[in-house]
Structure 1
Amino acid sequence: MNSKINSKIDLKIQNGYTLETGSLIDESVNTFKKTFLMSGVAMILLIIVTLIIYGTVFALIYGFSDLTSTMTEFQASQSTAIGLISTLLIATVTSAFSAPITAGFIHVNHLAKNNQEVGINVFFDFYKSKFFKDIFLSYLIIGLTSGLLSSGLTLINLEFLTYFTQFFVAIITVFTLPLIIYGEQNYENAITKSVKLFFKQPVLIFVALLLAVIGVLIGIIGFCIGIIFTIPFYYSMIYAIYNQAIGFEEKSLIDEIGQEEF
């Protein structure tokens, strides 16, 4: 862990930081415009990878029997504790294995901002980086936390609160991946420091991410196909928030990614 970067993050947690909604929108839009085509292609690949992982985990839990009977069994189990646990495990493992690609979606904004080359390989580079373990474990913990809370609400017939809970967990951990890949934090520190950083500017972060979600939903206008190319805007906003809140040294170690980092 780089002590200089770590000290800078701790200082932000102690003293706070400033965010400006207008500049967040400007920065996220500018980087998004440079990356949306490549990110759209990567999003299609992410969907394919996620379906493969989800399908594999699903089959391992429920077996490789007839698809119709398996789906019937799966739907029938959703009202039981065992069914909810199975669904939680499938979703969490899928999310954890897909997390390195999510990190790639954030990182392409850093490359674009610094006028560096962006290729489709960038979205998969974190699978072979030294950050993979912490990325995987962080999303495993976040996924389990969100899933357990949602499952508990479902069991006590408060299912309408599950979406709020999932969104809340997502926004308080919004700094997690950037803290790992840029701040060189381990998964435990990344999660705990993300929560602390979020509560320094909760309203502005909520508003910024809400605007990003609205921007993503604009893709529905394009007969839903366009949403594949607008989803990456959410990650552009996450990068902009981290950049404005924490920032980078003039010569950040992450600029070496793709070289000795992997």
Structure 2
Amino acid sequence: MTPTQERLQDIKKNGYQIDFANVFNHAFENYKKIALYAGLVLFIFSVLFVIFIGVSLVSVMGVTAMTRELSPEKLKVENLSESNFLVFGSIALIVSCILSPFQAAFLKMAHCGDRDEEFHISDLFGYYKLPYLKEIIISTFLISAIGFAQATLLSYVHFELLGKVITYFISYITLLVSPLIIFGDLKAIEAMKYSILIIFKQPFVILGLIIVAFIGSLVGFIGCCIGVFFTLPFLYSMNYAIYNAIVGIDAQEIE
């Protein structure tokens, strides 16, 4: 049994203590180390991704058809046909799965920043390899599919707000899935199970930390919206700091 598994078993039996101020300070100090690098990476790759999607859509649909089909009015949920709703949902699910290993790399960046270790551009794609790739994609697919399915079902009975609340709740209780996979070397289902268990042991403290991190990440919208790329990494730092405070990271379990 690995140190992580032993720690998780102890958490399951005895719970854990987490200090709001210590975790916040750890997350903020870590954020200061990675903010510029992570912000530049997010900005550059977001621009490249938007260009790629735009060029692909123009190539497939043409400018006129793309402008018509992707107009804000047509993209409203109430105006989408059942088939288009499923198509857009499926595309969003696929994109989430494809990008999830890339997003997980920002947790590794936070870890390197915490240890004052060098992080290379190639490390951004380090989780597009087995066994991490399979487990990250499986967990992302399951979480996203469950969220999409319940939101779709509730939208048909006109409970859209409840669907959004449940979607956020699912994201919250699966907050630690990615770090449990990449730092704890857990399988997807096991990581989901332990993430839920950990969150429910101290739900209000962790929720408070996430809300503070979310508000902090939105500061980038003030003045110039481009700043959000440089404040968004605070969420990754907070995720890392929460996991590190609760479970801890054994150097022998990560690459």
Per the normalisation by structure 2, the TM-score is 0.88
User: Does 2:37 match 1:38?
Assistant: yes
Equivalent pair of 1:104/1:126 in contact (CA under 8 Å):
yes
1:177 Cα offset (Å)? 0.2
Matched residue SS, 2:87:
helix
Provide the alpha-carbon RMSD of the alignment.
2.4
Q: Which residue of 1 aligns with 2:216?
A: 215
Give 1:154's aligned amino acid: S
Distance 1:10 1:246, change over 3 A: same
1:73 Cα offset (Å)? 4.3
Q: What CA deviation, in whole Å up to 9, does each residue of 1:70-117 have, x standing for no partner?
A: 454463785333222112111111111101111111111111111111
Matched residue SS, 1:28:
helix
Matches of 1:193 and 1:84, distance apart in 2? 32
Q: Which residue of 1 aligns with 2:233?
A: 232
Distance 1:148 1:198, change over 3 A: same
Distance 1:151 1:50, change over 3 A: farther
Q: Which residue of 1 aligns with 2:15?
A: 16
Partner residue of 2:64 out of 50, 65, 68: 68
The sequence identity of aligned pairs, in percent, is: 28
Equivalent pair of 1:40/1:232 in contact (CA under 8 Å):
yes
Matches of 1:177 and 1:155, distance apart in 2? 31
Q: Which residue of 2 aligns with 1:252?
A: 252
Matched residue SS, 1:226:
helix
Q: Which residue of 2 aligns with 1:28?
A: 27
Instruction: List 4+ stretches of structure 1 deviating above 4 A.
Output: 52-56
Query: Which shows bigger deviation, 97-106 or 6-15?
Result: 6-15
Give 1:120's aligned amino acid: I
1:11 Cα offset (Å)? 2.0
Q: How does 1:144-155 map to 2 (within 5 A)?
A: 144-155=145-156
Matches of 2:99 and 2:52, distance apart in 1? 8
Query: Which shows bigger deviation, 235-244 or 145-154?
Result: 145-154
Matches of 2:151 and 2:49, distance apart in 1? 21
- Count of aligned positions: 250
Matches of 1:70 and 1:160, distance apart in 2? 29
Give 1:229's aligned amino acid: F
Matches of 1:27 and 1:80, distance apart in 2? 47
Equivalent pair of 1:88/1:148 in contact (CA under 8 Å):
no
Equivalent pair of 2:43/2:229 in contact (CA under 8 Å):
yes
What are the ranges of 5 or more consecutive residues in structure 2 without an aligned counterpart? none
